[in-house]
Amino acid sequence: MNIILYISIMLLGITLRILSAILYPIVFLFRHKVLSFMIARVQEDEVNRVFVLKSGYEKKWKLYLHPYFWMFCFTTGLTDQYAGPSWYKRNLKEKWFGVSVLKESCNIFGKWFNFKQRLQYFYLCYCWQALRNSHWAFMEWFFREGKWKDNTIRIEYCDPPEGSIYKYWDIMPQLKWDEGNDGGKVLRFQTDDTHVSEIWLCTHLGKKKLTFTTHKGNKRFMYAFAKIIYLRPLKLNLIIEHQFGWNYWNGIVIFHFKHILRKS
């Protein structure tokens, strides 16, 4: 049943991705009003990591009658980082807007100097919200199930074995880069002096599958695989990352299928 549900959500995502690419310019024009509308009515439960309605707004169906809610579904959630975090397209942000933009979490707060910069800022927002993370808020609102319940985690298999690289059950095979979690030129690996709090920000290779029960009471799985294939005759590395299932952190559906060629 989990597999059928997962495939169904992924197929729905294809349609939503197309809609996002078409509708986002409208969302962009109303982005401040959309965010203000949702912040006044919705907040994130930081403990269970799901959306909850604020006091006085106990009826979800009332939200569904307002166009701002549906515009919100094509954003990246309750955040004003419309152009993404500092590491996303960092070179373009520095080139077009300077270091001050990075210090403001990449939000220019409407202080553009000319029409060209308005278009450049829209381009960054479109790439982040409409293309890279299209319909993110929709998936969080309708399909996020919250964090794992205590004592429900089970490691189905782990290669390398437990106790070698994976000192903690929640370290999964993943790629992490020098300029940010998902961006950069050089992979960031764990070293002997890596602080414990930073282990989750390092690249881990291998294969692992977890099962767990989400806050909403559904038993889900998370599978992750990361590997580097050294193509020495071509002086290239094939870097692979696969992640499928539900993220144990917040119970949202994940899909990573990356195959990256980099010079060795």
DSSP state of 161: P
Answer whether residue 101 shows pLDDT above 70.
no
- Would you list the domain boundaries of the chain? 2-143, 154-263
DSSP state of 78: S
Residue 66: CB atoms within 10 A of its CB come to: 14
Q: Give this prediction's pTM.
A: 0.87
Phi first, then psi, for residue 204 (nearest 5°) are: -130, 130
| Structural tokens at position 214 | 């989400």
Query: Under DSSP, is residue 260 helix (H, G, I), strand (E, B) or coil?
Result: strand
Burial 107-122 (b: 16+ CB within 10 A, else e): ebeeeeeeeeeeebbb
E strand or H helix that includes residue 109 = none
Give the C-alpha separation, 6 to 245, whole Å. 7
Segment 33-39 mean pLDDT:
96
Answer whether residue 192 shows pLDDT above 90.
no
Q: Which stretches within 144-238 are classed as H helix?
A: none
E strand or H helix that includes residue 177 = none
Segment 162-171 mean pLDDT:
72
In the β-sheet with 253-263, what is the strand arrangement from edge to edge? 154-159, 206-213, 219-231, 236-246, 253-263
Write down the pLDDT at residue 102: 52
- Type of residue found at 92: L
Answer whether residue 179 shows pLDDT above 60.
yes
**Whole-number mean pLDDT of the chain?**
89
Residues β-bridged to residue 116? none
